[in-house]
Structure 1
Amino acid sequence: MQDNFFLKKRFKSSIIISIILLITYGAMLITEFSIAKGLASLPKAFEWGITNFYPNAKSLERLPNILEKLFETILVSIGATTVAAIFALAFAVMGSATTRVSPFLSGIARGFATLFRNIDIAVWSMVLLFTFGQSSLTGFFALFFVSFGFLTRAFIEVIDEASSSSVEALQATGAPYMTTIFQSVIPSSIPMMLSWVLFVAETNIRSATLIGILTGTGIGFAFDLYYKSMNYNAASLVVIVIVLTILLIEYISNYVRRVIL
């Protein structure tokens, strides 16, 4: 019986793998992609990168402008994350099975979280471009919507896991609803919530770089401008600054997580 089960499982897995391989092969035929040509072009690609993609003395003159754009990107990312966290906390309290006021409001809160979380940030940017045009506000709202959806879902799970027993204890003593929230839910959940906020802030700084290409703002726009004008030395300096910034922020974020958890 057990052997038949494993045989059926292997058969299904083989079918799925075969379908994936057929789809991949079909896509290669349609797009005229050749693995051999791709591998053969790697040496030339590395050679071009070594000879063109490095900062020089002239590109270093643009460093103050690049840092200014980077600072703008970081501010937009942190601002969107902070505002999203505040709204997410309110919706998470409504959506959590532990603290919900009513099933109806809980369903609305979870619905908003699902909607905003599952629409890609690039899609939000393109939609918002019609309203706000190429501006920092477009990037801010795109980051805000995705962060809000993600954090609401994460906060709901944190509240359900971290504070269910303490909430039940306070409710048994007849404590008011707001007292339960501020004396039990938030204190017991805040370390994990802060950890999620830091994670989203890191992600948003990375995403804001790409969003800047669409919205014409921040460090992403600086890279796009230099690259399209074939100023590869300045473009490479932008890339180096972005990488160093991401590594620094990740180090700070990990340190803060170790302190609060």
Structure 2
Amino acid sequence: MQADFFAKKRRNSIGFFAILAAITVGAIIITEYDIVKGFESLPRAVTWALGNFYPTQESLVKLPDILSSLIETLLVSIAATSIGAVFALFFALMGSNTTRVNAFFGSISRAIATLFRNIDVAAWALILLFSFGQSSLTGYFALFFGSFGFLTRAFVETIDEVSGGSVEALRATGANYASIIFQSVIPSSVPQMLSWVLFMIETNIRSATLIGLLTGSGIGFTFNLYYKSLNYDIASLVVVTIIISILLIESISNYVRRVIL
């Protein structure tokens, strides 16, 4: 019986990889991608980067301006995530099977979260450009909508996973809805929710670089400005500051997770 189970699992795995390989080959044929030429270009790209794309002593003069743009990007990312988390918590409480008021509001909350989650932040930025133009506000709302959709889904799963038993116990004692939320759901879910918020901040900082290219703001715009003007030494300095900031934020985030979880 066990041998049949593993054999079936192995056949399913082989079938999956066969389908994936077929899709890959089909995509290569349709797009007319030259694999050999692609791999041959890698050494030339690395050689060019090593010879041109590196910070110089002269580029350090622009470091204060780069740091100013970086700080703007970090603050927008944190603000969008934090406010998105507040709205996500409300919709998660309405959409969770454990805490929803009724099935109708639960379905509406989940549908809204699904809509916002499945539209990429870059797509949100393009949509919002028509309303707000190229500005930090456009980037903020793009990150906010993306954060709201993702965190609502994450919070719903967290509430359903960690709060089910305690909620049933409080309901059995006759506790009202507010007591259930503030005495059971939120206290038991906060550590995991904070972990999701920290993860979203990391993600938004990475996404904000791309968003800045579209919205003409933040560190993404700074990189695009110097790269298009062929100031590769300054553009590379922008990349270095982005990498350092992401690694620093990730280290802080991992430390906080170890403390709260």
Normalised to the residue count of structure 1, the TM-score between the two structures is 0.92
1:125-144 aligned within 5 A: 125-144=125-144
3-state DSSP class of the match of 1:230? Answer: coil
Deviation, structure 1 residue 158: 1.1
User: Whole-Å Cα distance in 2 between the matches of residues 165 and 12 of structure 1?
Assistant: 36
User: Whole-Å Cα distance in 1 between the matches of residues 181 and 102 of structure 2?
Assistant: 15
- In the alignment, which residue of structure 1 is the partner of 2:183? 183
- In the alignment, which residue of structure 2 is the partner of 1:81? 81
User: Whole-Å Cα distance in 1 between the matches of residues 23 and 142 of structure 2?
Assistant: 33
1:92-107 aligned within 5 A: 92-107=92-107
Deviation, structure 1 residue 168: 1.7
RMSD over aligned CA atoms reads: 2.1
User: Whole-Å Cα distance in 2 between the matches of residues 50 and 103 of structure 1?
Assistant: 59
Corresponding letter in the other structure for 1:91: F
Deviation, structure 1 residue 94: 0.8
Gaps of 5+ in 2: none
Q: Which moved more, 1:25-34 or 1:124-133?
A: 25-34
Gaps of 5+ in 1: none
- In the alignment, which residue of structure 1 is the partner of 2:64? 64
Deviation, structure 1 residue 138: 0.9
User: Whole-Å Cα distance in 1 between the matches of residues 111 and 74 of structure 2?
Assistant: 29
Q: Which moved more, 1:29-38 or 1:63-72?
A: 29-38
User: Whole-Å Cα distance in 2 between the matches of residues 120 and 26 of structure 1?
Assistant: 26
User: Whole-Å Cα distance in 1 between the matches of residues 61 and 157 of structure 2?
Assistant: 48
User: Whole-Å Cα distance in 1 between the matches of residues 56 and 222 of structure 2?
Assistant: 17
Cα distance change of structure 1 residues 92 and 49 upon mapping to structure 2, 3 Å threshold: same
Deviation, structure 1 residue 31: 3.6
Q: What are the Cα deviations for residues 43-67 of structure 1, in whole angstroms up to 9, with x where unaligned?
A: 2211111110100122111100000
Cα distance change of structure 1 residues 36 and 110 upon mapping to structure 2, 3 Å threshold: same
- In the alignment, which residue of structure 1 is the partner of 2:256? 256
Deviation, structure 1 residue 33: 2.4
Cα distance change of structure 1 residues 159 and 14 upon mapping to structure 2, 3 Å threshold: closer
1:129-208 aligned within 5 A: 129-208=129-208
Q: Which moved more, 1:126-135 or 1:12-21?
A: 12-21
Corresponding letter in the other structure for 1:170: L
User: Whole-Å Cα distance in 1 between the matches of residues 220 and 165 of structure 2?
Assistant: 46
Residue 42 of structure 2 corresponds to residue 42 of structure 1: yes
Residue 30 of structure 2 corresponds to residue 33 of structure 1: no
Q: Which moved more, 1:251-260 or 1:170-179?
A: 170-179
Q: What are the Cα deviations for residues 212-252 of structure 1, in whole angstroms up to 9, with x where unaligned?
A: 10111100111111111111100100000000000000000
Cα distance change of structure 1 residues 50 and 6 upon mapping to structure 2, 3 Å threshold: same
Deviation, structure 1 residue 126: 0.8
Q: What are the Cα deviations for residues 63-99 of structure 1, in whole angstroms up to 9, with x where unaligned?
A: 0000000000001100000001000111111111111
Cα distance change of structure 1 residues 34 and 62 upon mapping to structure 2, 3 Å threshold: same
Corresponding letter in the other structure for 2:113: A
Deviation, structure 1 residue 121: 1.2
Aligned length: 261
